[in-house]
Amino acid sequence: MLEQSIEILKGIGEKILERKSYKILVCCFCFIAGIIAHSFVDVKINFFWIYNAGLLLAALIILFYGNAKIRLTLLGVFFVVLGFARFNFGIAENKILPDFWDKSVEVSGIILDEPINKIDKQQLIVAPQIINGVNFYGEEKILVSAGLYPKYFYGDKINFSCKLIKPEKNEDFDYARYLSIQNIHGLCYRPEINAGKALELSLQRNVLKNIFSFKNFLIEKLNLFLHEPMASFASGLILGARNSIPPGLLQNFSRTGTTHIIAVSGWNITFLGTIFMPFLFLLRIKRGQAFYIMVILIFLYALLVGLGASVLRAAIMGTIALWAQKTGRLNHAGRALLYGVALMFLINSRIVYDVGFWLSISATFGLIYFSAIANSIFSLSKIPYEFLRENLCATISAVIFTLPISSFVFGGFSLWALPANILILPFIAIVIMLSLAALPIVIFIPFMSNWLFLPSAAILNYIIGVVNFFGSIPFGYFNFQINFLIMIAIYAGLIYYTFQKLKNLQDEK
């Protein structure tokens, strides 16, 4: 096995030296590696050293330009340094807000994101403008945990007083690092809040405010047409609403490895695209045309649920997965995935801490490279219906490639993850499609709601029933957390097996 690995690496090295396009892949890969490496160093590195390291490497590349191997090695190291530099610039200086930690503050600010509704509270992401009577010029934000009522909305100006708490890391979860993705560096619990004067919003914020208002209107309609827990589940699944789901059901989602379907994420949109495509094929739409239709639908859907940064990243990942289905060429799709990841890191290096981002990458990688293998191992080609065959391929591939990171982050492993996802995921796209089609009609013709939402209610009941069934089985879920090195080793083995198996499948043709 070791000799085969060395031969594979030698072959890759020779191809990289021969083709210019492969050199670009090396640069992207090294840039990503630099960002990931720096994410483990929890300090801000002096710009002086990064600048001089980059300058030295640039000089060495020019000096050894005639030697292809040395030039490529130096170029790779240069992009690792660039990755370090990009992550370094992404670390917030935080020179202002820490001065107020553990102190009582009076804050005037604007709600900059859609409020997150929990069972007993609503969470508001606030950009402070004034703290204790002094203008605040920092970029940091405060996460405010307020009571359920009165309701607040995106773009509202609020005045509140509280004790500002520093986000901390606990034994199970690095909450501070998670919040830093959104540049949140202060917590405020149960503040005294007064609504401020209405503000004139910029065009972009005004558009977002209208989108969120329309989405809240649709959520209210769903709550009228569906009973709990279907209403909360449907709001998260269809419209990306961050509503609360009963704790028992939430636990069963976790025990069955199906938490990813609760709300719109990279996981979800990737599946939405790959599962919808076969339905377009049933309508006799050609593969190329179906791809463009799905890309338009995905971005319209992303716009409907708010077009936040995480949703936009999810839409990009879903588009890359669809590109793989459209072209059928693994090399092109794999490159698109690498370019997409590098671009998103360039825009925001802090997403290296975003679990949803890594889950969507893993799922997309599995969809691109493992689908043919899943088809071969499970003999899915014998299934007569193309839409069912492709749905099963997508489900099996994505679940296998997201299990290691799920075990690493969430500290558990479910034997029922694969069967539960296989039974559920093909119906996700159907219930989204049926519900979105029914909503406009029942808004204007309310008396038809009971009839039009019957299919959606039946499917939602089925999904919840499957989750509760597998979640109630007393065995099959193991509470253990693999460490980072074990996760990397599992992924290395999976990737090696995948490419070796693909090579064997190509040789058999």
The predicted-structure confidence for 176-213, as pLDDT tens digits, reads as follows 777 877 788 889 988 888 766 665 666 666 777 777 88
> pLDDT confidence of 354, banded at 50, 70, 90?
confident
Token pair of 166 as six digits: 């520093």
CA angle 381, 383, 385 (to 5 degrees): 110
Residues 383 and 278: beta-carbon distance below 8 Å? no
Position 462 scores a pLDDT of: 93
Q: pLDDT per residue over 393-452, tens digit each?
A: 877 888 888 888 888 877 777 778 888 888 887 788 788 878 878 888 877 777 776 778
> pLDDT confidence of 64, banded at 50, 70, 90?
low
Per DSSP, the three-state class of 209 is helix
- Phi and psi of 308, rounded to 5°? -70, 175
Position 273 scores a pLDDT of: 66
Count CA atoms closer than 13 A to 499's CA, side-chain side. Answer: 13
CB atoms < 10 A from the CB of 266, how many? Answer: 28
Position 466 scores a pLDDT of: 92
The mean-pLDDT minimum among 51-55, 175-179, 263-267, 489-493 falls in 263-267
d(CA 412, CA 254): 9
Residue 77, pLDDT > 70, answer yes
Measuring CA to CA, how many Å separate 46 from each of 84, 88, 505?
A: 11, 9, 50
Position 122 scores a pLDDT of: 87
> pLDDT confidence of 143, banded at 50, 70, 90?
very high
Q: pLDDT per residue over 258-284, tens digit each?
A: 877 776 655 566 666 666 776 777 777
Centroid of chain to Cα 265: 5
User: Long-range CB contacts (< 8 A, 24+ apart) of 124-127?
Assistant: 124/152, 124/158, 125/182, 125/184, 126/158, 126/160
Q: H or E stretch including 111?
A: strand 104-111
Position 471 scores a pLDDT of: 86
Position 235 scores a pLDDT of: 82
The answer to whether the predicted template modeling score (pTM) of the entire model surpasses 0.85 is no
Q: Which residue is it, tokens 């069963």?
A: 252
d(CA 261, CA 270): 11
Share of the chain above pLDDT 70, in %: 79
Per DSSP, the three-state class of 154 is coil
Supply the mean pLDDT for the chain: 78
